[in-house]
Structures are given as structure tokens and as C-alpha cells.
Amino acid sequence: MENGAVYNETTEPQGPRRRPFGCTLRNLWGWRLGVKVAQTILSFVAVVCEEIVEDCITCSGLYFFEFISCSAFLLCLLILCVYCTDLYGSLGTEKVQKL
């Protein structure tokens, strides 16, 4: 007992520090990242502009535009979340491509 064989280290060594929320640009980089961010911002601007309209004569087109722009914004956010976090690696390339 005096040689220290009983007192081994009880904690594992720490690995490299991870970024918050597992953010990574490994899967989406270059011009594709810029295009996807621009698409997200523009679809959000479309949602905001649609909400500014108070009166309309025939609102069916406006409601359709609201549905399309909101859907585009949410799908762009989903794509950015999947490609820019560790979720891409945990789902697997095949499942992400099917999505």
C-alpha cells in the first residue's frame, strides 16, 4: 500500500473542449453556407413584410404567400440546424439526405 498502487486516478482525462451546442461548419461551408444564411434571412424578411400588411382586397394570395414564406423560413432554419451542429453526424449521412 505504500507504493501507491491502491490509489489510482479515479477520473478520466478530459478530451478536447466542445463548442456550445456542438456548432461546426464542417458539413456546410463556403458559398453554400452563405447562400443558406441569405435564404434564411430573406425568408424571414418576407414573413415580416407580410405581417405589416393591414388591409387587402383579396387576401387569398397574401395568405398563400404567408404560408410559403413561413414554411421556407422554418425549413431553412431546420437545414442550418442539422448541417451546422453535431446532429448531422448523429443522424448519419443517409438519413440526412433522405430528409
Percent of the chain whose predicted confidence (pLDDT) is above 90: 20
Q: What is the tens place of the pLDDT at every residue in 11-25?
A: 666 655 555 556 666
What is the domain partition of the chain in residue ranges? 31-97
How much is the mean pLDDT over the chain?
79
Mean pLDDT of 19-33: 71
- pLDDT, residue 11, reads 65
The pTM of this model reads 0.67
Mean pLDDT of 73-86: 85
In this predicted structure, the answer to whether residue 33 has a pLDDT above a threshold of 80 is yes
54-75 burial string, b = 16+ CB within 10 Å, else e? eeeeeeeeeeeebeebbebbee
